[in-house]
Amino acid sequence: MQDNADLLALVRTIPDFPKPGIQFRDITTLIHNGWGLRTAIDRMATASAPYQPTLVAGIEARGFIFGAGIAHQLGLGFVPVRKSKKLPGAVIGIDYELEYGVDRLEIHNDVLGPDDRVLIIDDLIATGGTATATVNLIRMAGAKVSAACFLVDLPDLGGTDRLRAQEVPVETLLVFEGH
């Protein structure tokens, strides 16, 4: 198994952001480092390729940073999963709960079909609310989820277990125990 301690050391923790009690795992320090950004994308692409995706879905906003790079690496197209009222065309959408709030995700309603095997990409999984909503959105659109890959996992918040219970293969690189 790959030792990702080198990448882990580039993630900064900021206590009490955006609310008291949240330990915010800040990936801006990792992406500021050229080696860190390239290596994170390379390793996420390598972990995801065996699931044979046909499209990459990146979740706004931090999922775009990694998702576009992974799509480039794998030679696949990219579907932006956006917060509400950002996409110009007809959309399908779903409401979801965050570790610290409520939000809504949307995709264009004509970008996925039954032959698509979609790889979900985000920077981080916490409660899994965002990723679970994305799985539901992709399945509502009639496509399959091939796998989901996250740079950071907060396993104590249960997100990866929640996704696996929906029969989604999950890959993560960096694990932070605790909340």
Contact residues: ligand ADE, CB under 6 A: 22-25, 99, 124, 126, 154
Q: Which is nearer to ligand ADE, 68 or 103 (CB)?
A: 103
Residue 112 identity: L
Q: Does residue number 36 form part of the binding site for ligand PRP (CB under 6 A)?
A: no
Among 83, 72, 59, 76, which Cα is nearest to 150's?
59
Q: Does residue number 165 form part of the binding site for ligand PRP (CB under 6 A)?
A: no
Q: Which is nearer to ligand PRP, 93 or 129 (CB)?
A: 129
Q: Which is nearer to ligand PRP, 133 or 143 (CB)?
A: 133
In the complex, what is the shortest distance from the CB of residue 34 to ligand PRP, in angstroms, rounded to a whole number? Answer: 21
Residue 154 identity: L
Rounded-to-integer distance, Cα 176 and Cα 160, Å = 13
Rounded-to-integer distance, Cα 172 and Cα 154, Å = 10
In the complex, what is the shortest distance from the CB of residue 83 to ligand PRP, in angstroms, rounded to a whole number? Answer: 7
Rounded-to-integer distance, Cα 34 and Cα 135, Å = 31
Q: Does residue number 127 form part of the binding site for ligand PRP (CB under 6 A)?
A: yes
Rounded-to-integer distance, Cα 118 and Cα 121, Å = 10
So which residues are the catalytic ones?
Answer: 62, 99
What residues make contact with ligand PRP under the rule CB under 6 A? 59-62, 98-99, 122-131, 159
